[in-house]
Structure 1
């Protein structure tokens, strides 16, 4: 950057020296042309952007002008001196230092979050004690702040007692059922009953009917268990909504194979998000 600045200044000086051998009449004519060009440019450009080389050359040359003309130049010597004073002040000003405690090591932050996720029933003080055994001195308030920033609540709420945590834990052994409608060309509405395996997202399309009643849905449940054969024992839960077509006979079909039927809360389609989607 410094070499480029000196190169630009050198080019400006050489360009000025080339004007010295020329006659006064030629110089005066060129000055009139240049002054008119500057007047035209000032009408179009509000404030030109000058480089450091331009500022230095203009400041040096402006010293030979009368005071009246020097006051209207883009760069006055006082401007260059003011910038020089700012440069000196910035050089001797101490850098701003952050006030307060230093930030926690990112490796310790990741360790705290890992301990909280793998041990959801550990409180702040328990995690603090484990960190002390590992050679890390962290206060309980810092652990609380780190967990809050990572969207990890206190120990009771961090335990796997929420519906989302339940689905994540038992996804491989959970089924979800629902039905959707299809309108034919003759505007006849058909109901398609299906069961999805939450862990693999595999969908079993069990049947299509225009009149889905309790007996028909219970029979589709029997057909599903027959299709699963030996794999039916790998599933423990079935999620369904509170539709009237799901009768006690439907629940008994799955209960016979050790599958517990979970009824969704009223008006809560998100609880059965895998099937609803």
Structure 2
């Protein structure tokens, strides 16, 4: 600990001695370079764009309606649920309907998932087979 402290003090003293031995032109050049670096960093900071917020979340009422349609009609797929929602006047994409149904563990269209596999791994099997 004491050796480290002595080393740091010695390094500071030598750095000051180097600064004292420099000419004023060298010091001015260093200051000019440092000011330029600061100006470049400030310019880069100004031009960064804030991250996009993404899509707004699905309203709770619409999410519950999607889950209810999927539960009451287990043989409907996400496309059919999407069509019914559009017919009722709700503007929602097929991907959103599919995501909400998967989040609610409703695969739809009479499919069930084999144990231990994810829905996207090609493991869906027709119900009744």
Give TM-score, length-normalised by structure 2: 0.46
- Bigger radius of gyration, 1 or 2? 1
- Judging by fraction of residues, say which structure has more helix: 2
Higher relative contact order at CA 8 Å, sep ≥6: structure 1 or structure 2?
2
